[in-house]
């Protein structure tokens, strides 16, 4: 019995020693393009990712794109903001390549200075899928490059039943940023 407990303790200690979680904080900038937007738009935000030594990880990302719908009319200001939680499948070693997908908030805002038009604030449920790469050497500073597809999910018939359909808002976002690993 004592031998089994000692072996079990050694095995658990070996497993605990090999588990190494990493946290990545990445402020990013890039472009939102295609889909609903009329041309490429500057986008920026931040991503906080947690990845263990295994293939699964999790990230929380915030993104902001000003003038997403262009300047039509010129007296309008508009933006798209995202807040998404993502599950990641991430490779071991260096560099770390990942695929990501998740759900969250897609907020659109259109504000007209001219009072003849209505202001639009929309908080919608959405999803994103994509992938990227973390390039971090032995130190704690590195780079991340990422591309994602975003789409709003809607209820096509507000009849009290739970139905989801693809909404009209959709776009791609490509970003890069400095990553701090700790």
> What DSSP designation does 69 have?
T
Find the Cα–Cα–Cα–Cα dihedral 99, 170, 166, 74, rounded to 10°: 160
Residue 20: per-residue pLDDT: 67
> What DSSP designation does 161 have?
S
Q: Where are the domains of the chain?
A: 20-181
| Contact status, residue 122 vs residue 105, Cβ threshold 8 Å | no
How far apart CA 59 and CA 47 sit, in angstroms, is 7
Residue 3: per-residue pLDDT: 52
Residue 125: per-residue pLDDT: 92
Residue 83: per-residue pLDDT: 98
Residue 77: per-residue pLDDT: 83
pLDDT digit string (tens) for the chain, length 182 residues: 445 444 444 444 444 334 568 999 999 999 999 998 878 999 999 999 999 888 999 999 999 999 998 866 666 788 999 999 999 999 988 899 999 999 999 999 988 766 555 677 889 999 999 999 999 988 999 999 999 999 999 877 777 776 667 888 999 999 999 999 99
> What DSSP designation does 38 have?
S
- Number of C-beta neighbours around residue 172 at 10 A: 17
How far apart CA 45 and CA 130 sit, in angstroms, is 16
Extract the tokens encoding 107: 């907020």
Q: What residues does 112 pair with on adjacent strands?
A: 76
Closest CA relative to residue 56, chosen from 17, 106, 19: 19
Q: What fold does the segment set 20-181 form as a domain?
A: Porin (2.40.160)
Q: Residue 67 — left, alpha, or beta (φ > 0 → left; ψ -120 to 50 → alpha)?
A: left
| Contact status, residue 77 vs residue 67, Cβ threshold 8 Å | yes
Burial class (CB in 10 A: 0-12, 13-18, 19+), 141: exposed
């Amino acid at each position: 019995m004592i031998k089994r407990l000692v072996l079990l303790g050694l095995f658990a200690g070996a497993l605990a020693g090999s588990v190494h979680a990493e946290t990545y904080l990445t402020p990013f900038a890039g472009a939102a393009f295609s889909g609903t937007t009329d041309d490429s738009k500057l986008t920026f935000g931040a991503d906080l990712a947690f990845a263990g030594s295994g293939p699964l990880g999790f990230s929380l990302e915030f993104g902001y794109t000003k003038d997403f719908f262009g300047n039509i009319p010129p007296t309008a200001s508009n933006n798209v903001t995202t807040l998404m939680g993502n599950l990641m499948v991430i490779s071991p070693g260096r560099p770390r390549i990942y695929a990501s997908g998740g759900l969250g908030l897609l907020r659109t805002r259109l504000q007209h200075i001219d009072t003849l038009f209505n202001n639009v604030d929309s908080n919608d449920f959405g999803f994103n899928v994509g992938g990227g790469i973390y390039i971090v050497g032995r130190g704690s500073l590195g780079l991340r490059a990422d591309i994602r597809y975003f789409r709003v999910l809607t209820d096509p018939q507000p009849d009290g039943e739970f139905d989801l359909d693809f909404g009209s808002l959709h776009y791609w976002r490509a970003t890069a940023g400095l990553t701090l690993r700790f």
